[in-house]
Amino acid sequence: MGAVTYPNERVVEFIEKNMVPIQVLFDSQPLSTNFNIKWTPTVITLDEKGKEHHRTIGFLSPEEFIPSLMLGVAKCHFDLEKFNEAISGMEKILKNYPKSDAAPEAVYLRGVALYKNTHSAEPLKEAYKKLQAEYPSSEWARRASPYRLL
């Protein structure tokens, strides 16, 4: 990723605006042990307290890396129960990177965050419908299948 993805202008811009990057070699101690880093590249999205919220392992192109980073930020917000920020982040993924590997998970988590915000089952049903229509073979479509019964 050092030759293709990390130097990409859009990747650099996204990271500079949204993250504090730290590069750790996979065999650097104690961080590689503390964060269970077994392969390179491993990209971990942490919150301000150092708690992990998202992880990717292996090469990603810039077109996949940016939405993966966006998903990591949105998942931080989601896990910290900042649902409006999480929803906004997931909507940006779906608007700007609808064909990315991160998109199905963003649909799913957006539905859950909307549910948690409103306590209405409708966003869960809508997430299921969207996943079935646009990402039917994704694991997130399978995970959302119980929502069809709501």
4 in a structural domain: no
Find the domain containing 105 and state its range.
9-149
| Span 18-27, pLDDT tens digits | 999 988 887 8
CATH of the domain at 89: 1.25.40.10
What is the average pLDDT across 121-129? 98
Helices (H) and strands (E) in the chain, counts: 7, 2
94 in a structural domain: yes
- Indicate the pTM of the whole model: 0.93
1 in a structural domain: no
13 in a structural domain: yes
Q: Given this model, what pLDDT does residue 36 score?
A: 92
| Span 96-112, pLDDT tens digits | 999 999 999 999 999 99
What's the number of domains the chain is made of? 1
Q: Mean pLDDT for the chain?
A: 95
Q: Given this model, what pLDDT does residue 40 score?
A: 86
Residue 1 has pLDDT above 80, yes or no: no
26 in a structural domain: yes
Q: Given this model, what pLDDT does residue 39 score?
A: 86
Please give the structure tokens belonging to residue 87: 């929803």
CA atoms of 141 and 70, how far apart (whole Å): 20
| Span 48-69, pLDDT tens digits | 999 999 999 999 999 999 999 9
99 in a structural domain: yes
65 within 8 A of 11, measured Cβ to Cβ? yes
